[in-house]
Amino acid sequence: MTENTPRIVTCPTCATAVKWTSGNAYRPFCSERCKLIDLGAWADEQHSIPGDSVEEDMLSGQLDNSD
């Protein structure tokens, strides 16, 4: 019985086997670098979405003209 065997997870960025321990501050990533890469990819996706705010602004402008 080895109750303290750390759980092994796969780094989402580079697919390296990572021990899920309290000492690993970057889990489930293998390193800070992989964590930042993943966060960066996520942020890029958010920014790559074309903004529809211009169209919305035009529509709301028409509604505003209710004089």
Tokens found for residue 40 = 């960066």
C-beta of 11 vs 50, nearer to Zn ion: 11
Contacts of 37 (CB under 8 A, 6+ apart): 13
Closest contact distance (angstroms) between CB of 52 and Zn ion is 35
Distance CA 24, CA 54 (A): 44
Q: Judged by CB under 5 A, does residue 30 bind Zn ion?
A: yes
C-beta of 10 vs 60, nearer to Zn ion: 10
Distance CA 30, CA 18 (A): 6
* Range in contact with Zn ion (rule: CB under 5 A) among 10-18, 19-27, 45-53, 59-67: 10-18
Closest contact distance (angstroms) between CB of 37 and Zn ion is 8
